[in-house]
Amino acid sequence: MSLVSNTSTWTSLLKGSRRDVPPAGQDSTLKALRNRSSLKIVNEAGDCKPPSGKTSRRAAMGMSAFLMMYKAIPGESLADVLSLESSEEQLPSTSLASELTLQEQQLLEFNQRIAKLNNAPDDYPSFVRNGYDVRVLTSPGYVETDSGLIYKDFGIGEGENPVDGQEIVFNYTAYNESGGTIDSTYNKGRPAETRLGIKGMIPGFEEGLKSMKPGGKRRIVVPPELGPPVGPSTFFSARQFEVFDVELLAIKNCRIESFAIFTSRVVCE
């Protein structure tokens, strides 16, 4: 299946998360954006001055993180996507939005433009990177667990929650921070099936599934700490949040059947 922890799976999940190379002819735009990361800050007296020291470095790092997330969109140039004109889009109505710095507000606007062009689903969370720090901005209805997992239910479903040893059947679509689709069972024409408790899935994804009921629909936001490992074996080059829209279809009980000496199999039904 598509979410088991092996090299081919991580490569599949990586499609929208790895460091993409910008299309030819956009070098000048990238240079302009990198230069633009040296933003100006207005002090209390109303004077504008360029940031210096740690602030400037963090702004540049935030812009670099955004550029790393950039995914080419057919028919759109990077200059069009990241227009230097002021954005008409409104920031999310959350308490965090009012606490954002000037750099973070502009990075948020960039993220929202990319998500829109990537056809991200409605009510998609926004990710604001400032250096190595990330703020997740969501609308009301999202819940954060003690582990750091974030989720929102769009349908509760009925029945019992699945437990370790059982097999679950589900559909999902996976997205990166910028709303780009990474993987989806809908594109494959069949749902995914896997057993719980065998360490066969991304930890945060499995945690989010275990508290669902058959028929339930949920958006799961997996932080890097609960996500796939980063390194040469998985080809992941950056620790990012992963977002999954999931529909739990069924739960199956499993048993071990022995049919020959030292030979057995797991049957789920």
Residue 43's pLDDT band, with cuts at 50, 70 and 90, is: very low
- As given in the structure block, the two tokens for residue 130 are 């400032």
61/179 same-domain check = no
Residue 235's pLDDT band, with cuts at 50, 70 and 90, is: very low
User: Which residue segment(s) compose the domain that 118 sits in?
Assistant: 14-137
Considering its fold, how many domains does the chain have in total?
2
121/229 same-domain check = no
Q: How many residues does the chain have?
A: 269
- pLDDT tens digits for range 66-99: 444 444 444 555 455 444 344 444 444 454 566 7
86/179 same-domain check = no
Whichever domain contains 195, its CATH number is: 3.10.50.40
Residue that terminates a domain, selected from 137, 162, 177: 137
**Is pLDDT at 8 greater than 90 in this prediction?**
no
- As given in the structure block, the two tokens for residue 78 are 């990077």
Residue 256 belongs to a domain: yes
Residue 5 belongs to a domain: no
Instruction: Tell me the β-bridge partners of 252.
Output: 167
User: How high is the mean pLDDT of the chain?
Assistant: 72
Residue 149 belongs to a domain: yes
> Do residues 123 and 152 make contact, with C-beta atoms less than 8 angstroms apart?
yes
Number of Cβ atoms within 10 Å of the Cβ of 82: 21
Residue that terminates a domain, selected from 137, 159, 179: 137
Residue 8 belongs to a domain: no
Query: What is the pTM assigned to this prediction?
Result: 0.66
